[in-house]
Amino acid sequence: MDQTLSLLFFFAAILIVAGLLFALIALTKRDPKGINVEAYRCKWLEIERQLQRDQPASYQLSVMNADKLLAKALEDRGVQGATMADRMKQYQSSWSNANAVWAAHKLRNRIAHDTDVQVGYDDTRRALGAFKQALKDVGAI
């Protein structure tokens, strides 16, 4: 009888430890919580449709909106940082091409802060490609 009781306690202890491990894994899992992939895809398609080769004003707008979308995705992903650059630094090791994402963000900064900036269609397409890949890497699209 003592041996049966000991085995019962042993298996109960194993079940409790397994339950605690499962709960710990579930709580610490880095899941893209808060990211509605379908909503991000729709917003991304809007940004791509915004860009019109014959409308140079659309170049700057699409870069600005793509950068905003990435900023929101990083926030929704839970990446910490006071600024977009801080969040980008935290996440850059997870990007397929961090240099391209930084170049796209720098283009955004030039658009936002330089009144005489001239952005070409090809530069815009490159930046959008970098933002799109970054959004994929974040798990937003």
Return the domain boundaries, the chain.
1-30, 37-138
CATH topology for 37-138?
Four Helix Bundle (Hemerythrin (Met), subunit A) (1.20.120)
User: Which residue is it, tokens 């019962």?
Assistant: 8
pLDDT of residue 25: 66
Secondary structure letter of residue 115 according to DSSP:
T
Between CA 88 and CA 91 the distance in angstroms is 5
pLDDT in tens, 25-58: 655 544 446 789 999 999 999 999 999 999 999 9
Would you say the pTM of this structure is higher than 0.85? no
139 — alpha (psi -120 to 50), left (phi > 0) or beta? left
